Amino acid sequence: MKALFILFLFLINTGFSQEIEDILKSRKFVLEAQKITDDGGLANPANRKLCFVMLDSSEIIVQWVANCDNNGLGGITMRGEITSFEIKKQKIKKETQYSISLNCKMDDGRVNGDMDIEIYSKSHANAILKNKTSSIFVPKEMKILGKIVSLESSNVKIGSN
């Protein structure tokens, strides 16, 4: 019975890793935020339906709730294109971790940023968006802690521009 249980756990971990790998390679996924930290170190809990990073092939949408309202949902919505994308996979102990580095231009070119996403066990992820341009609405650095889900299974609400 114990050997069967260990085999079951192994199959769950293996399948889970392959599922995440497939989602990442398709470049169709959403990091649904649970917490967002701005460059001043202020951490705020986030609503995963309203705060997220969405990748759909070469397109990216970054949305979060802020103290202003320009998207109809009480926050900021930036749309843009991914100009570079790289995935690295590594094993740490018994866990598989993925690192994604991407560069993107959003908000009609007014925001040029680098984003690093680290994905840990059970699809938990941490993303850091570094804004290389000056913007009143976008902090120089934003950290997003959340969970990676496939684009098809996500229920995020996208605000208007």
Query: In a 10 Å sphere around its CB, with 0-12 CB exposed, 13-18 middle and 19+ buried, how is residue 32 labelled?
Result: buried
Q: What does pLDDT average to over the chain?
A: 80
- pLDDT, tens only, 44-95: 888 899 999 999 999 999 988 765 455 556 678 888 999 999 999 888 777 7
- pLDDT, tens only, 17-47: 688 888 888 999 999 999 998 888 888 888 8
**pLDDT over 80 at 13, yes or no:** no
- Of 144 and 134, the structure prediction assigns the larger pLDDT to 144
pLDDT at residue 6 in the model? 36
How many domains are there within the chain?
A: 1
Measured at the CA of 53, the angle between CA 43 and CA 140, to 5 degrees, comes to 55
pLDDT at residue 155 in the model? 92
Here the CATH number for the domain that contains residue 105 is: 2.40.128.410
Query: What is the percent of the chain with per-residue pLDDT over 90, rounded to a whole number?
Result: 34
Residue 78 lies in a domain: yes
Domain enclosing residue 72, as ranges? 2-150
Structure-block tokens of residue 26 = 């398709």
Residue 99 lies in a domain: yes
pLDDT band at 120 (very low <50, low <70, confident <90, very high): confident
Residue 157 lies in a domain: no
Residue 103 lies in a domain: yes
- pLDDT, tens only, 46-58: 889 999 999 999 9
Residue 115 lies in a domain: yes
pLDDT band at 15 (very low <50, low <70, confident <90, very high): very low
Query: What is the percent of the chain with per-residue pLDDT over 70, rounded to a whole number?
Result: 81
